[in-house]
Structure 1
Amino acid sequence: MRVAVAGGTGTVGRPVVEALTAAGHEPVVLAPSRGVDLVTGDGLAEAMAGVEAVIDLANKVTMKAAEARAFFEAGTRNLLAAGERAGVRHHLLLSIVGCDRVETGYYAGKLRQEELVRTGSVPWTIQRCTQFHDFAGQFMASMPGPVAAVPRVPNQPIDTRDVADVLVGLVAGEPSGTVPDLAGPRREILLDQARRLVRVRGGKRLVLRLPLAALGRAGRQMAEGGLLPTEPGPRGTRTFDEWLAGRAGAARR
């Protein structure tokens, strides 16, 4: 099956492309580096020729609601329209656990994206997923300097390879609407993850606790479990500690 992967060069896009190939499918990467711009639509029609299914992983990291909505609305509208013209039978969107319970500008964009997929004419599946194992590192990367402030909030991180395996299984099946939340094998605390990551990297960066008040309403919502799955569903197998061990091994090599 020929499967278009929007955002196929990203954090989860790369393992999805690898998993599709391993399963005998033909991935088509939709990304600016491959001559496809979802927001403008440039190159999209040509890339979608012969595509039977789409996995939408396209992303823009921003906390500004207007920017997030503009990106996800334009890209999703173009992708759905191209899919309809190409006769796509299944549009699979990866979304985020808690995007309807934690009020951030980025999550507002994801909610708009979900709405467009649900009301579109292409048969669809939406898979919400918890944060990836590298979320703690991404959080710290947003604060350059010798000190990082990280909140003490619970999450249930998952390995991107586990996400890829689930998505490839879903896209090969029938459109299923909104499916149960996908999450990692166990709960973690973001602050603890950040400190463990610094130790594994061998760095001396100081990780301090960020008061939830600094994050406003969103901080309270995350502290109350807003990033956690609320129902039974598929669970990954690779723990955060196993992911860390892999990073430590790669650093030694």
Structure 2
Amino acid sequence: MRVAVAGGTGVVGRYVVASLAALGHEPVVLARSAGVDVLTGGGLDAALESVAAVIDVTNVKTTSRRAAVGFFDTAGRTLLAAEMRAGVQHHVALSIVGADRVRMGYYEGKVRQEQLVAAGRVPWTLLRATQFHEFAAQVVDAVPGPIAVVPKMRSQPVAAREAAAVLAELAVGPPLGRAPELAGPRMEDVPDMARRLLRARGSRRRVLALPLPGAAGRAVAEGALLPTSPGARARQTFTEWLAEER
């Protein structure tokens, strides 16, 4: 089975590609480095030839609502339109647990993506997952300096590799609509994750935990991004992931 992975060179995408290959399927990478642009549509029609399913793990690094909504809206519309032309039978999208409970930039972009998928004509599955273990590194590496500013946030992080494996399994199965939420095995404090990561790196940088502004900041600090319904729980803890990375 040919399965295309939009964002197939990213943090999650590269694991999705590996998971599909391990299951005996043929992954097709949709990325600029592979000659495909999901924003403009360049190279997309040719890449989707004989593709049965598409897994969308595209991403944009921004905290701007305008930029996030613009990216996910454009990429989503472009992908879904190309899938209709190619006769793709299953669209799988990755979103975030609690995205609709946090009215803030990036999360509003993910909500727009979800809306497009649900309203589209391609049969779909949507998987909401919690933040990845890699999130701690993304936060501390965002701005260099002696102090790492980290948002006060509670999470139940999951390994990107495990999330990718679930996406691959979903893609080769029937469309489910909203799949059960995926979360990690235990709850973590994000500033504490950052401190442990820096210690593991042998870094002397200090972590300054600051609340994000407004109602959205209070929401993530109080656990708005934690799962609220039954769903799959991954195995690897952040501690185990950290030891593996080190």
Instruction: Give the TM-score category using the shorter length.
Output: over 0.9
Output the CA distance in 2 between the equivalents of 1:107 and 1:150. Answer: 17
Corresponding residue number in structure 2 for 1:34 = 34
In the alignment, is residue 237 of structure 1 matched against residue 235 of structure 2?
yes
Relative to the length of structure 1, the TM-score reads 0.95
Corresponding residue number in structure 2 for 1:216 = 214
Corresponding residue number in structure 1 for 2:143 = 143
Give the counterpart letter for 2:133 in structure 1. H
RMSD of the TM alignment (CA)? 1.0
When structure 1 is superposed on structure 2, of 149-158 and 178-187 the one drifting more is 149-158
Corresponding residue number in structure 1 for 2:113 = 113
Give the counterpart letter for 1:199 in structure 2. R
In the alignment, is residue 52 of structure 1 matched against residue 52 of structure 2?
yes
Output the CA distance in 2 between the equivalents of 1:130 and 1:27. Answer: 24
Output the CA distance in 1 between the equivalents of 2:209 and 2:63. Answer: 21
Corresponding residue number in structure 1 for 2:23 = 23
The CA deviation string for residues 102-138 of structure 1, in whole angstroms up to 9 with x for no partner, is 1211111111111111010000000000000011111
Give the deviation of 1:179 after TM superposition: 1.4
- Matched position secondary structure for 1:138: helix
Give the counterpart letter for 2:223 in structure 1. G
The CA deviation string for residues 10-44 of structure 1, in whole angstroms up to 9 with x for no partner, is 00001110000000000000001111111111010
Where does structure 1 lack aligned partners over 5 or more consecutive residues?
Answer: 249-253
Give the deviation of 1:142 after TM superposition: 2.0
- Matched position secondary structure for 2:232: coil
Relative to the length of structure 2, the TM-score reads 0.98
When structure 1 is superposed on structure 2, of 19-28 and 164-173 the one drifting more is 164-173
Give the deviation of 1:153 after TM superposition: 2.1
Within a 5 Å distance, the mapping from 1:194-213 to structure 2 comes to: 194-210=194-210, 212=211
Within a 5 Å distance, the mapping from 1:47-196 to structure 2 comes to: 47-196=47-196
Output the CA distance in 1 between the equivalents of 2:148 and 2:215. Answer: 21
Give the counterpart letter for 1:73 in structure 2. D
CA contact (8 A) 2:7 2:58 kept: yes
Output the CA distance in 2 between the equivalents of 1:127 and 1:18. Answer: 19
Give the deviation of 1:209 after TM superposition: 2.2
The CA deviation string for residues 213-250 of structure 1, in whole angstroms up to 9 with x for no partner, is x43222101022111001110111011001100121xx
Give the deviation of 1:49 after TM superposition: 0.5
Aligned pairs, how many? Answer: 246
- Matched position secondary structure for 2:100: coil
CA contact (8 A) 2:63 2:105 kept: yes
Corresponding residue number in structure 2 for 1:251 = none
- Matched position secondary structure for 1:59: coil
Where does structure 2 lack aligned partners over 5 or more consecutive residues?
Answer: none
Give the counterpart letter for 2:174 in structure 1. E
- Matched position secondary structure for 1:234: strand
CA contact (8 A) 2:152 2:220 kept: no
CA contact (8 A) 2:134 2:160 kept: no
The CA deviation string for residues 158-202 of structure 1, in whole angstroms up to 9 with x for no partner, is 001110111111111110001121101111100110000000001
Give the deviation of 1:151 after TM superposition: 3.1
Give the counterpart letter for 1:85 in structure 2. R
Give the counterpart letter for 1:19 in structure 2. S
The CA deviation string for residues 43-65 of structure 1, in whole angstroms up to 9 with x for no partner, is 10010111000000011111111
